[in-house]
């Protein structure tokens, strides 16, 4: 009865406030959380302040010294995590009782992935729409680390990315390999080099644009002695840095066709190496995925197996 009484006292305002406080904590501050949630900074600040008033104690310190949780704030964050996970479990169980699928399927994708011809994402969405016309597909372009974090935290149902990390909470299913290549721009010392295939002797010490995660292309570059002087996950940024003539960089071959219609950059074939980056579907490790997630995975498999 005591638990039931406590549950009764946890009202909608507290549930919303705890959810917002959880995002603030995981984002490392109010400004970052405001950008993540797409709402005003003042609104987030007021919601957390209202939660503190209801609870009767301070949750965090904010100011010039930065954002930091109080001792009580750390306990409340743990409670908020348990609450959000419990609510999502309940939603998944209730979904199984409905005759049709509705709501949103939240998918995280890395930059420029949707144009990959191997993925055929548009076909997956079209087929899903026929089977679940009331289901909304919500796609977000994020970094690989952020995709994994949000899948683990259940902000996303699944992610598609080209990097994996060992995790007790995530599963990675390989789906296709994307061809990438090394490029240089006008003004770079290799742009007019008569060599047709480049090896470690030619590439050692060359500056290139790396990624902010442990990527397949970074491992290849490091094996050739190249130096990652800067890093980005945004293909447009990488292409602009290549075009400057200062850096080399790896870009998906399919993306170059759209980014460089005038053929301003030069592809540098690497001796004895091809570069096919494996891509994976990332889901949270669960006894059973939500119906909307299972529908996407089944439809994706059917599309990928159809020529």
| Residue-by-residue DSSP string for 50-70 | HHHHHHTS--EE-STT--EE-
Torsion of CA 73, 74, 80, 86, to 10 degrees: -160
Q: Bridge partners of 252?
A: 180
Domains and CATH numbers, the chain: 2-95 (1.10.10.10), 102-307 (3.40.190.290)
Maximum average pLDDT range among 25-29, 101-105, 295-299: 295-299
pLDDT at 302: 93
Q: What's the mean pLDDT in 143-155? A: 88
Q: Looking at residue 147, what is its pLDDT?
A: 92
pLDDT tens digit sequence for 224-239: 999 999 999 899 999 9
Indicate the DSSP class of residue 180: E
At residue 279, does pLDDT exceed 90?
yes
Average of pLDDT values for 151-177? 89
Does position 11 have pLDDT exceeding 70, yes or no? no
58-72, 126-140, 257-271 — which is least confidently predicted? Answer: 58-72
Contact of 111 with 251, CB cutoff 8 Å: no
pLDDT given for residue 1 in this prediction: 36
Write down the pLDDT at residue 306.
82
* Tokens 């305002």 belong to residue: 13
C-alpha torsion sign, points 174, 221, 197, 111: positive
Instruction: Work out the average pLDDT over 107-119.
Output: 91
Give the integer Cα–Cα distance in Å for 257 and 156: 30
One DSSP character per residue, 233-253 reads S-HHHHHHHHHTTS-EEEEEH
Closest CA relative to residue 154, chosen from 272, 256, 292? 292
Query: Taking a C-beta distance cutoff of 8 angstroms, is the pair 303, 124 a contact?
Result: yes
Residue 44, burial from CB neighbour count under 10 angstroms (0-12, 13-18, 19+):
buried
Token pair belonging to 280: 């994976």
How far out from the chain centre does Cα 275 lie? 22
Q: Is the pLDDT of residue 50 over 50?
A: yes
Compute the distance between CA of residue 187 and CA of residue 217 in angstroms, rounded to an integer. Answer: 23
pLDDT at 257: 87
Q: How far is CA 223 from the centre of its chain?
A: 26
């Amino acid at each position: 009865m005591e638990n039931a009484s406590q549950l009764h006292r946890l009202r909608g305002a507290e549930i919303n406030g705890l959810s917002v406080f959880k995002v603030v904590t995981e984002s490392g501050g109010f400004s970052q959380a405001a950008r993540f949630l797409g709402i005003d900074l003042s609104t987030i600040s007021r919601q957390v302040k209202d939660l503190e008033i209801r609870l009767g104690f301070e949750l965090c310190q904010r100011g010039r010294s930065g954002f930091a949780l109080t001792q009580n704030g750390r306990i409340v964050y743990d409670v908020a995590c348990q609450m959000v996970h419990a609510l999502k479990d309940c939603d998944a169980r209730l979904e199984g009782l409905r005759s049709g699928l509705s709501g949103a399927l939240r998918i995280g994708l890395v930059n420029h992935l949707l144009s990959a011809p191997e993925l055929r994402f548009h076909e997956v969405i079209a087929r899903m729409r026929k089977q679940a016309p009331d289901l909304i597909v919500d796609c977000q372009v994020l970094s690989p680390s952020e995709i994994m974090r949000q899948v683990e935290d259940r902000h996303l149902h699944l992610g598609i990315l080209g990097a994996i990390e060992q995790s007790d909470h995530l599963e990675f299913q390989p789906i296709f390999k994307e061809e990438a290549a090394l490029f240089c721009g006008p003004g770079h010392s290799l742009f007019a080099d008569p060599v047709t295939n480049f090896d470690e002797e030619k590439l050692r010490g060359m500056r290139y644009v790396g990624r902010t995660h442990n990527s397949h292309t970074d491992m290849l570059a490091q094996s050739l002695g190249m130096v990652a002087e800067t890093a980005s996950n945004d293909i447009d940024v990488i292409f602009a840095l290549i075009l400057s003539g200062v850096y080399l960089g790896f870009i998906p071959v399919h993306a170059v066709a759209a980014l460089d219609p005038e053929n301003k950059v030069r592809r540098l074939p690497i001796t004895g190496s091809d570069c096919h980056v494996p891509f994976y579907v990332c889901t949270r490790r669960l006894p059973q995925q939500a119906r909307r997630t299972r529908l996407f995975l089944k439809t994706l498999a059917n599309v990928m197996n159809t020529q």
